[in-house]
Amino acid sequence: MKSKASTPATAGVIGLGSLKKKPRRVALCGNPNVGKTSLFNALTGMRQRVGNYPGITVERVVGTVATSAGPLQLVDLPGCYSLAPRSPDERVARSEIAGEFEDGAPDVVIVVADSTNLERSMVLVTQVIDTGRSLVVALNQYDMALADGVSIDVEALSELLGVPVVPTCGRTGEGRAELVSAVLAGGSRGRSLALQFPDVLTRHAEQLAPRLAGREVGVGDGLRFAELVLSSAALAEDVLGRLDAEDSDESRSIAADIRRARQDVEDAGHDSATLSTELRFAAIDALIAPILKRTADQSPWQARADRFLTHPVSGTLAMLAVFLLVFMVVYSWSGGAIDFVDKTLTALGSWLHGLVGGGLLGSFVKDGIVAGLGAFLVFVPQIAMLFVLLEALEDSGYLARAAFLLDRVMGLVGLPGRSFLPLLSGFACAIPAIMATRTIENRRDRMVTMAIVPLMSCQARLPVYAVIVGALFAASPSWVPATVVLVMYVAGIVVAGVVAKGLQHSVLPGARSPLLLELPSYRRPSLRSVLFNTGKRTWSFVAGAGPIILVLMMVLWAALTFPRDVKLQRDFGAESAQLEARIVQSDGDPSRVESLSTELVELRRVESSERLRGSYIGQVAQLIEPVIEPLGFDWKIGVSILGSFAAREVFVPTLGVIYAVGDKADEHDQGLLDSMRDDRWPDGRPVFTPLSGISLLLFYVIALQCVSTLGVLKRETNSWRWPVGLFLAYGAIAYIASLAVFQLGTLLGLGAT
């Protein structure tokens, strides 16, 4: 068998130089869950850059490996089971190996194989051999295989494949030096497996091969490539798509021939979708049978762990405990770190404010730049802490089990089990939650999950709920405000379910993607990998979403601050100068100084209130008052809503400024609550009634009022389409929902109370 396998299928490959040059560019590819990223981290250390492939959401991670022969550029390809591409991830992996991106083809491909699951890994290994690239096989998780009672004759494997094979352990970094020297030696092209294709297929492939050669439809345009096109569904689809795109007489004729040949193969009784994979597995089984010894299918403790962790009762309880821990970390335990960031920035703001003095510049520095920095830096502790847990859970193999347990429940809204944890995190904060959707492999499922995360009532909405409920239901029995808040949480979830279904029927159509989720072996997470990946994620947020958030915050600052020449009803400048003079004159008398200072603070509050009324946002709010009045909102609420687009946290302080009780007001401030209760429409009706309150609450549940969420959506989807579309859509849904509640309530006579 092996002796027949020596015919290289790479004869037709052009451009793979016969002169072996020193390798510069190396690609790292492998199945999901083989510890590829651990190995990447072990090889490159901190020298990594994260970017995006143009126009798609797939990330491109490039690192540098320092070697004795100078630096190597190492590209970490997305995990893939096969080079016959189905998902954007797999397409990227294939295109990188084919050299279709601007950097060109890799000089050497490292294929990471899983020692504990060699036969499945060999599919990708032998496919890469078929492309004609030089490769090195890293036999990863070699230590685990030994522990599981698997023994592999590495030398024999290397001999059979015709490529260097290096046992490695990404977690500890063992085998790193040997792997690097094998790469520096240039790897080897290896021997393609002999696949026993039926005669009808080989006949067609022989005619097809020369016509495909040089058409840039794939890697390794030789006989093997033609054979694969006729015996793989995904590869055929990819190649036919490329030929269709070429749209010439020649390409149309080739495409027709491919379709006809595949039909002939089918007619001869073969499955042209699975034939190459089946033959490949048969060849692999025969190849590795003599060199692989396995004492048991699975080590006993792996099986025991699964019996406990995927059990309907014990597994569900364990999952609840794990998720509670994750939620607590994001919801409350990150509080200390957040406070620290907050306090540091506030101190920085005050210090800079003191440095540049008051006035416009001071306000710009303090409320524009520093507040803008705060608007994204404040999320860093939450993101970092969530990702430490998430990476550890993913690396340990547990997250896949949780997804298994939750798949059916999430299926109610057409989402996979993987969507649960990001949505749960959304109740703490949408920013880390949206980033956590990375654990969802399927693009469509990930998009839908990202889209509905902002509907989970995050922590920032709590002060809004508290101030409105506090102002309006203070006299009601205590269960009433609690129920109102609970209903708001439920309302968010219900709208999320509807939106998810709606998206699946409109923008992201198609049936629920099939679930073929690997439940990888349990293993101890690699601390280094967890910390590296967390660092990478956190940095990609700071560098990718940070600038967007900063700019949006400055725009908002400007809208709240300008124009400066507001027509004020009083001459605040003169009055405050007068008060200051009187404070100086009253030297010594503490009671007089105090009362005058209070008067001065009061005066400044009234001035800020009037300035806010005259600002662009104030003007817009007054302009749109007729539009929001049917929801039960006056222009003052309008200002707070518009201000809240910076972040919902701003709602309460903005109300504080408008009602001239100061921007330090919190949701328990009696002065603020009293002012809200006493506020009246021009015709004497109270502005805040339980009905208008509920209408306002509902608006806050639905509307996407968070610049940071928009920034992170832009970063994660690599386009403005999603953030802008969701912003408009949720604004519209919020408006309609509040309108319906307020108008129906008024009709039913609930408005006046």
**Segment interacting with another protein (CB under 8 A) among 281-289, 325-333, 372-380, 675-683:** 281-289
Q: Is 258 in the site for another protein (CB under 8 A)?
A: no
- Angle between helices 721-747 and 479-505 in degrees, nearest 10: 130
Q: How far is the CB of 280 from another protein (least distance, A)?
A: 9
Query: How far is the C-alpha of 504 from the C-alpha of 500, rounded, in Å?
Result: 6
Cis peptide before 563 (omega within 30 of 0): yes
Q: Is 218 in the site for another protein (CB under 8 A)?
A: no
Q: How far is the CB of 259 from another protein (least distance, A)?
A: 13
Q: Which of 21, 408, 567, 664 binds another protein (CB under 8 A)?
A: 408
Q: How far is CA 472 from CA 121, 458, 465, 611, 672, in A?
A: 63, 22, 11, 28, 12
Query: How far is the C-alpha of 113 from the C-alpha of 571, rounded, in Å?
Result: 77
Q: How far is the CB of 123 from another protein (least distance, A)?
A: 6
Q: List the structure tokens of 376.
A: 């994204």
Q: How far is the CB of 42 from another protein (least distance, A)?
A: 24
Q: Is 504 in the site for another protein (CB under 8 A)?
A: no
Cα-Cα-Cα-Cα dihedral sign, residues 263, 267, 268, 271: positive
Q: How far is the CB of 420 from another protein (least distance, A)?
A: 13
Q: How far is the CB of 272 from another protein (least distance, A)?
A: 8
Query: How far is the C-alpha of 440 from the C-alpha of 379, rounded, in Å?
Result: 22
Q: Is 264 in the site for another protein (CB under 8 A)?
A: no
Q: Binding mask 177-216 vs another protein (x if CB under 8 A, - otherwise)?
A: ----------------------------------------
Angle at 399 between CA 51 and CA 87, to 5 degrees: 45
Strands 108-114 vs 72-76: parallel, antiparallel or unpaired: unpaired
Q: Is 244 in the site for another protein (CB under 8 A)?
A: no
Q: How far is the CB of 119 from another protein (least distance, A)?
A: 6
Concatenate the DSSP letters of all residues of 169-237 into one string.
BTTTTBTHHHHHHHHHTT-B----------HHHHHHHHHHHHHHTTS-SSS--SHHHHHHHTT-HHHHH
Q: How far is the CB of 89 from another protein (least distance, A)?
A: 13
Residue with Cβ nearer another protein (407 or 679): 407
Helices (H), 329-460: 335-356, 359-363, 371-377, 380-396, 398-410, 420-426, 430-436, 443-452
Q: Binding mask 88-117 vs another protein (x if CB under 8 A, - otherwise)?
A: ----------------------------xx
Query: How far is the C-alpha of 32 from the C-alpha of 30, rounded, in Å?
Result: 7
Q: How far is the CB of 241 from another protein (least distance, A)?
A: 13
Q: Which of 50, 56, 200, 273 binds another protein (CB under 8 A)?
A: 273
Q: How many CA atoms lie within 13 A of 224 on its CB side?
A: 25
Q: Is 510 in the site for another protein (CB under 8 A)?
A: no
In contact, 280 and 371? CB cutoff 8 Å: no
**Segment interacting with another protein (CB under 8 A) among 119-127, 566-574, 597-605, 679-687:** 119-127
Q: Binding mask 284-313 vs another protein (x if CB under 8 A, - otherwise)?
A: -x--------x--xx-------x---xxx-
Residue with Cβ nearer another protein (282 or 577): 282
Q: Is 274 in the site for another protein (CB under 8 A)?
A: yes
Q: Which of 2, 24, 120, 501 binds another protein (CB under 8 A)?
A: 120
Q: Which of 517, 687, 729, 750 binds another protein (CB under 8 A)?
A: 517
Q: Which of 81, 633, 688, 730 binds another protein (CB under 8 A)?
A: 81
Q: How far is the CB of 135 from another protein (least distance, A)?
A: 19
Q: How far is the CB of 228 from another protein (least distance, A)?
A: 11
Residues touching another protein: how many (CB under 8 A)?
Answer: 46
Q: Which amino acid is at 460?
A: A
Q: Is 445 in the site for another protein (CB under 8 A)?
A: no
Q: How far is the CB of 466 from another protein (least distance, A)?
A: 36
Q: Is 514 in the site for another protein (CB under 8 A)?
A: yes
Q: Is 269 in the site for another protein (CB under 8 A)?
A: no
- Angle between helices 651-658 and 590-614 in degrees, nearest 10: 110
Q: Is 259 in the site for another protein (CB under 8 A)?
A: no
Residue with Cβ nearer another protein (72 or 150): 150
Q: How far is the CB of 517 from another protein (least distance, A)?
A: 4
Q: For the chain, state the CA radius of gyration.
A: 32
Residue 673 backbone phi and psi in degrees, to 5: -60, -40
Q: Is 232 in the site for another protein (CB under 8 A)?
A: yes
Q: Is 24 in the site for another protein (CB under 8 A)?
A: no
**Segment interacting with another protein (CB under 8 A) among 77-85, 336-344, 421-429, 620-628:** 77-85
Helices (H), 615-669: 616-623, 625-628, 635-643, 651-658
Residue with Cβ nearer another protein (81 or 376): 81
In terms of Cα–Cα distance, which of 544, 548, 324, 551 is closest to 435? 544
If phi > 0 it is left, if psi is from -120 to 50 it is alpha, else beta; for residue 149 that is left
Q: How far is the CB of 306 from another protein (least distance, A)?
A: 7
In contact, 246 and 292? CB cutoff 8 Å: no
Q: Is 267 in the site for another protein (CB under 8 A)?
A: no
Q: Which of 62, 213, 233, 498 binds another protein (CB under 8 A)?
A: 233
Q: List the structure tokens of 288.
A: 């590795």
**Segment interacting with another protein (CB under 8 A) among 405-413, 582-590, 665-673, 678-686:** 405-413
Query: How far is the C-alpha of 560 from the C-alpha of 555, rounded, in Å?
Result: 9
In terms of Cα–Cα distance, which of 636, 650, 641 is closest to 679? 636
Q: Is 82 in the site for another protein (CB under 8 A)?
A: yes
In contact, 230 and 279? CB cutoff 8 Å: no
Q: Which of 405, 488, 549, 612 binds another protein (CB under 8 A)?
A: 405
Q: Which of 58, 61, 84, 440 binds another protein (CB under 8 A)?
A: 84
**Segment interacting with another protein (CB under 8 A) among 13-21, 45-53, 511-519, 529-537:** 511-519
Cα-Cα-Cα-Cα dihedral sign, residues 686, 688, 692, 696: positive
Q: How far is the CB of 222 from another protein (least distance, A)?
A: 21
Helices (H), 20-87: 36-44
> Within 10 Å of residue 14's Cβ, how many Cβ atoms?
9
> Within 10 Å of residue 434's Cβ, how many Cβ atoms?
27
Q: List the structure tokens of 5.
A: 């396998």
In terms of Cα–Cα distance, which of 292, 236, 699, 704 is closest to 465? 699
| Residues 644-703 close enough to bind another protein by CB under 8 A | none
Cα-Cα-Cα-Cα dihedral sign, residues 467, 379, 401, 92: positive
- Which residues lie below 8 Å from residue 74, measured CB to CB, with a gap of 6+? 26, 27, 28, 40, 43, 44, 62, 63, 64, 65
If phi > 0 it is left, if psi is from -120 to 50 it is alpha, else beta; for residue 247 that is left
Q: Which of 237, 342, 575, 602 binds another protein (CB under 8 A)?
A: 237
In contact, 192 and 5? CB cutoff 8 Å: yes
| Residues 123-182 close enough to bind another protein by CB under 8 A | 123
Q: How far is the CB of 304 from another protein (least distance, A)?
A: 12
Q: How far is the CB of 650 from another protein (least distance, A)?
A: 42
| Residues 562-601 close enough to bind another protein by CB under 8 A | none
Residue with Cβ nearer another protein (159 or 518): 518
* Size of the chain, expressed as the number of residues it contains: 753
Beta bridge partners of 59: 52
Q: How far is the CB of 237 from another protein (least distance, A)?
A: 7
Which residues in this chain contact another protein in the complex, by CB under 8 A? 81-82, 84, 86, 116-117, 119-120, 123, 232-234, 237, 271-274, 277-278, 281-282, 285, 294, 297-298, 306, 310-312, 316, 400, 403-405, 407-409, 411, 514-521
